[in-house]
Chain A
Amino acid sequence: MEGDIVQMGAYIGAGLACMGMGGAAVGVGSIVGNYLSGALRNPSAAQSQTAMLFIGIAFSEAFGIFSFLVALLLMFAV
């Protein structure tokens, strides 16, 4: 019975952890949207900033991956 409760808590926690992915999605969307609006204003400068775009996406996405990792840990490792 006790193990069941622990397992239930782990599953609920995993589900909650997945909400963090939404935050990463918002972040990545914001970065790409701002990049696109900037790029459309000044297309000649867009090419030189794609590296910055990917760095930004990577940083922002990492947090979504962290939350996914937490979910995985709760599912399989706890």
Chain B
Amino acid sequence: MTTEATEAAMAAGHAAEAAEKGGMPQLDFSTYPNQIFWLLVTLVVVYLILTKFALPRISSVLAERQGTITNDLAAAEELKLKAQEAEEAYNKALAEARVEAQRIANETRAAIKADLDKAIAKADAEIAAKTAEAQKAIAEIRAHALESVQEVAKDVAREIVALLGGKPDARSITAAVKAHLKGEKRP
């Protein structure tokens, strides 16, 4: 009811306005003070909102993000450098270790060789000593053997002479054995 009444009144008002001021609401100067007042209020409120809250906050967020990105990039760069350093250190250590290993191997080899030489020399000396001893023993044995051969030959010759009925004469037998042994040796 009331709405209808207001509508009717408004329509009447519109018609009156339209007849009075023409059609464009934009050119209805009676509303200008109202529009300008509220526009200024709006702009001031927006300006205050922006300068008090929004802009400092957004700029700080942006600056913070920029800072974080820069820091992260720097940290990444640092880590990369560290990794490179570590790799270099590793390579250096590896090379050093290799050299050390080489050195130890050489030393060991030299030590072993020295020991071996010493042992060989000792063994040679022992062998030489033993050889000399053995040769002496052989010579002795040979001398003994020669003597026993003479004795055996004398004994055999005496026995033979006795069997044949003769009288064994020691001197002549010895001379004969000697002559034989010499004769044997001669050819």
Contact = CB atoms under 8 A, between A and B. Distances in A.
A touches B (Cβ under 8 A): yes
Contacts of B5: none
Contacts of B22: 76-78
Chain A interface main SS type: helix
A45 interface: no
A78 B23 CA distance: 8
Interface string B17-40: 000001110010000000000000
Contacts, number: 12
Interface in A49-78: 72-73, 75-78
B182 to A, nearest CB: 127
A69 to B, nearest CB: 9
Q: How big is the A interface, by class?
A: under 10
Nearest to A75: B23
A78 B22 CA distance: 7
Nearest to B23: A76
A42 to B, nearest CB: 31
Contacts of B23: 75-77
Given A72-B24, A76-B22, 10 more contacts: A73-B24, A73-B27, A75-B23, A76-B23, A76-B24, A77-B22, A77-B23, A77-B24, A77-B27, A78-B22
The 10 A-B residue pairs with the shortest CB-CB distance in the complex, in nearest-first order: A76-B23, A77-B22, A76-B24, A77-B24, A77-B27, A77-B23, A76-B22, A72-B24, A73-B24, A78-B22
Interface of B: 22-24, 27
12 contacts: A72-B24, A73-B24, A73-B27, A75-B23, A76-B22, A76-B23, A76-B24, A77-B22, A77-B23, A77-B24, A77-B27, A78-B22
